[in-house]
Amino acid sequence: MPILKVLGKGTFEVEQGKKLVLALEDIGVNILHRCGGKGKCTTCRVEVLAGEFCDVTNLEKNAFSEKGIEDHLRLSCQIRVNGDVTVRPIMTTENSGLDTGPRPAE
């Protein structure tokens, strides 16, 4: 099983192919996903510090472009954990004061 390291939270085994946003939520990270994982709100963004994910999707590029967000970030709702990775969640309930939003679909 892949290893997911989350800054400030710890190291966890994650089911191969699981959406990162769901993996984060399941280990207790209160990451935002205000649009329910549809890649539109950009609240589930993370900084990938180590490891690799698939290339940035057009959906991510468009969402980041519309919101003026730095291109080194990724949307955790649009990527799957297929190998070891280290991430830093950008927006959480703790640092935003918002509720997480509806749980994204698998």
Domains belonging to the chain, first-starting first, are 3-96 (3.10.20.30)
User: What's the pTM?
Assistant: 0.91
pLDDT in tens, 70-83: 767 899 999 999 99
pLDDT band of residue 56 (cuts 50, 70, 90) is confident
Residue 68 has a pLDDT of 79
Which one is predicted more confidently, 55 or 95?
Answer: 95
Does the structure show a pLDDT above 90 at 30?
A: yes
Does the structure show a pLDDT above 80 at 69?
A: no
Residue 14 CB coordination number (10 Å): 22
Q: How many residues does this entry show for the chain?
A: 106
Q: Are 19 and 76 in contact (CB under 8 A)?
A: yes
